[in-house]
Amino acid sequence: MTEDRLLLATTNRGKIRELKKSLRGLPLKIESLDKYPEFGRYRETGRTFEANSRGKSLFYSRRYRGLVLAEDSGLEVEALGGQPGVYSARLSGPRATDEKNIRKLLRVLAGVPRPRRRARFVCVVSLARQGKIVKCFKGRVSGYILTEPDGRNGFGYDPVFYYPPLRKSFARLTAEEKNRVSHRGRALKKVRSFLARRWLQPPG
């Protein structure tokens, strides 16, 4: 049997933490890319989250025996016409860090009033197996970009993403709160029920 293991095809520590939490309890052995340096690295060249997510899951599913879960995610800011989008990880250049990306985002949004600071996080999760897509799942969450960072939890742009329903930035949410409402949490909820319903049921 090879279906009883699932590879998380990401190197982002923040994502791995959240993905593992969301998939907890499923009868699958969850592995991450650290264990398989020989697989190499997928280059994201797509112009949409879906293209990158599918491409990444297919790439690793040709190397791994089992299910592969990849995701592409990012931030779309209204005042920037939806940017940085698929370029969110590299907003501040090739040596980007979360801190540098946040600084760059705040700089380009300096003086932009609140209504135009509307933004959303988007996440597309793909499941693939043996070079074929099994299914894609999407999740989104809307909020505003703050004028300065607030909070220390989470990763990426969380300190500057304000979520009105909870009146907090994402970096002030607990891991459980974030998973309940985030783009990734919403997509993963669908993944979980799909896996539980269809994939893990014995045939017939």
Whether 98 is catalytic is no
Q: Which two tokens stand for residue 170?
A: 């994402």
Near ligand ITT in 107-146, by CB under 6 A? 121
Interhelix angle 13-23/183-194, rounded to 10 degrees, is 40
List the interface residues with ligand ITT, window 141-180 (CB under 6 A).
154-158, 170
Q: Is 128 helix (H, G, I), strand (E, B) or coil?
A: strand
The mark string for 2-41 relative to ligand ITT (x by CB under 6 A, - otherwise) is --------xxx--x--------------------------
Nearest 5°: CA angle at 69, between 22 and 5? 85
- Specify whether the backbone of 163 is left (phi greater than 0), alpha (psi in -120 to 50) or beta: beta
Distances (CA, A) of 129 to 4, 8, 168, 172: 12, 12, 38, 36
| Cβ 30 to ligand ITT shortest distance, Å | 15
Q: Roughly how many angstroms between the first and final C-alpha of the chain, as a whole number? A: 17
Closest residue (Cβ) to ligand ITT? Answer: 156
Shortest distance, position 178 Cβ to ligand ITT, whole Å: 7
Q: Please tell me whether residue 127 adopts helix, strand or coil conformation.
A: strand
Q: Does 89 bind ligand ITT (CB under 6 A)?
A: yes
Smallest separation (angstroms) from ligand ITT to the CB of 166: 15
The residue from 4, 72, 98, 158 that is catalytic is 72
The token pair at 6 is: 């699932």
CB of 184 to ligand ITT, least distance (A): 5
Size of the site for ligand ITT (CB under 6 A): 21
Question: Smallest gap, in angstroms, from Cβ of residue 185 to ligand ITT?
Answer: 9
Q: Is the bond preceding residue 164 a cis peptide, omega within 30 degrees?
A: no
Q: Which of residues 45-74 bind ligand ITT (CB under 6 A)?
A: 72-74
In the complex, which residues of this chain contact ligand ITT (CB under 6 A)?
10-12, 15, 44, 72-75, 88-89, 101, 121, 154-158, 170, 182, 184
The catalytic site residues sit at 72
